[in-house]
Structures are given as C-alpha cells and as structure tokens.
Structure 1
C-alpha cells in the first residue's frame, strides 16, 4: 500500500473514532445535558432519585429559615407552577436571599425534598460588585 493511501486510511479511522466517542458521550448525557432541573420539569418527568443533580429556580419569599445551629438553612425553590423544599447545611453565598435565583447541587430524597451540598446564587445581568458601583459607565438604552 502506498504511503498516501495509508495516510487516508489513518485519517478515516481517526474521524470514525472521534465520531464514535462523540456518540458515546452524547448518549451518556441524555437528560443531564440541561444545566439544572426546574421544579416544574421535575413535576412532569419525576424525581431523579439516587443521582447528584442541580435544582434551579427562585427562593420563595418567606420560605428562608435558619436553624438554631446557625448553618442549616431550609427554603423552598419555586418556578411558574411547582415548588421543592430544600435543606442546606453550610455557608450560603453572599448573593443568596429570598426572591432571588439559586442553583442548588445535591440529591432528591424519596419524600420529594432536596438536600443540597452546594448553593450557587444567581444574579441578573445588571449586577455590579459593590466596589465597582458607580465607576463603570452605564449602558445607553437602545434607540427606538
């Protein structure tokens, strides 16, 4: 076999290997391709018990309670039509508060509650750290 034909065969095999690996990776992801589950998604699809997942939504107003130990938080994550009770033991991020976005990493319990091992507070696109407030130019509103 000529060297040119050998290179073509090797390039073809490499492309086939990359395509196979991509197919395996995508099939392994399946439902985990979403960054997080929303409470209404869980209502429709059911709870992914026994797997580490992310739960995202808003912290319901009036649902945030701190236990006597000072580090255990209980709150409810809500979206358009469903709620999920969450328990977290640890130090919450500075931006974490009621009526703000949150992504909680953890596991669902058989009773439908969620035990979080990590909290990620979300902020809107207008967020600026307190140190930077007033120092950056404000964007102009779009022309109509």
Structure 2
C-alpha cells in the first residue's frame, strides 16, 4: 500500500466515523426537538399528539381560571386563535395582550394541552418566532403590538 492510498483510506474511514457519530447524535436528540407553530399553522395543519410550541398573544378577555390551578385561555396571532388548557402555576408576567409561548400538544378536539407556559421577561421582549409571525400578519409595528391584535381575530374564531 502506497503512502497516498493509505492517506485516502484514513480520510475515508475518518469521514465514515464522523458521519456515524453525527447520525447517532441526531437520532438521540429526535425526542427533544420541538417545533414552533403559530395559531394559524396549528389550525391549518393540526398535528394531533405531536409535541410543539405554540406562540402568539394571550387574547384579551379569554383567561378563565378553574379549580385546582387549571387555566383556559386563547392564544392568537391576529388571524386565528387556539384555546389552551393548562394546569399549574402561571408565570408572574403572564397577562392578557402579552406575548406567550406554550409547549404541549394539540388534542383531537383542536384545543391545545400545554405542559409549559412561558411569558415575556420585560416590556420589550417577544420571542423572535412570535414577533416574526406577528410581523408577517401585520400586527407588529416598531416593537409594539396594536390593541386590535391583542383583542383577537376580527372574524371571531
């Protein structure tokens, strides 16, 4: 075996080992990858049972508190709304008209069962994905959310 062919063999084996390691790492992380969706995307493609993050604004007047720390509220992106059911303590900064990201799964009924609720941490913060989705809908201007967007969709969904 010549020196050149030995080098090529070492490079090929190293490449195969790196590809195998990358494949195993991605396979191991597949259960922890969570995709972000807006209410419009959830309504258009309801992936029932799949763990996702739902982000948008808490619709004004939609928060309903029940027994045993259960809360029901609506998340809107200005065009659509999704009802969210959550059991647990909400963040201190959770309120109507503010940005929120919930992690959980869509139920067969079309509502969203949240396992985690995340709220903004100061008055100027909005998760990038939520801000981008609101900008695309025309409901985000200069870091401020218009009151109409926080109130919910115009068609009453």
The TM-score, its normalising length taken from structure 1, stands at 0.68
Alpha-carbon shift at residue 34 of structure 1 (Å): 7.3
CA contact (8 A) 1:100 1:123 kept: no
Alpha-carbon shift at residue 63 of structure 1 (Å): 0.6
Q: Distance in 2 between matches of 1:2 and 1:63?
A: 75
Q: Distance in 2 between matches of 1:113 and 1:83?
A: 10
Question: Unaligned stretches of 5+ in structure 1?
Answer: 128-144
**1:8 alignment counterpart:** 8
**RMSD, aligned α-carbons:** 3.3
**2:62 alignment counterpart:** 63
Give matches, 1:69-108, under 5 Å: 69=68, 71-108=69-106
* Aligned residue pair count: 124
Structure 1 pair 42/76, CA: closer, same or farther in 2 (3 Å)?
same
Give matches, 1:1-144, under 5 Å: 1-2=1-2, 5-16=5-16, 18=18, 35-44=35-44, 46-69=45-68, 71-123=69-121, 126=124
Higher RCO (Cα < 8 Å, 6 or more apart): 2
Q: Distance in 2 between matches of 1:12 and 1:125?
A: 53
Structure 1 pair 122/2, CA: closer, same or farther in 2 (3 Å)?
farther
Report the 3-state secondary structure (helix = DSSP H, G, I; strand = E; otherwise coil) of the residue aligned with 1:8: helix
Alpha-carbon shift at residue 100 of structure 1 (Å): 1.0
1:50-102 per-position Cα deviation (integer Å, ceiling 9, x unaligned): 21111111110111121133x11110000031100000001111221111111
State the structure with more CA Rg: 1
Report the 3-state secondary structure (helix = DSSP H, G, I; strand = E; otherwise coil) of the residue aligned with 1:36: strand
Q: Distance in 2 between matches of 1:37 and 1:22?
A: 27
Question: Unaligned stretches of 5+ in structure 2?
Answer: 126-157
The TM-score, its normalising length taken from structure 2, stands at 0.63
**Larger helix proportion, structure 1 or 2?**
2
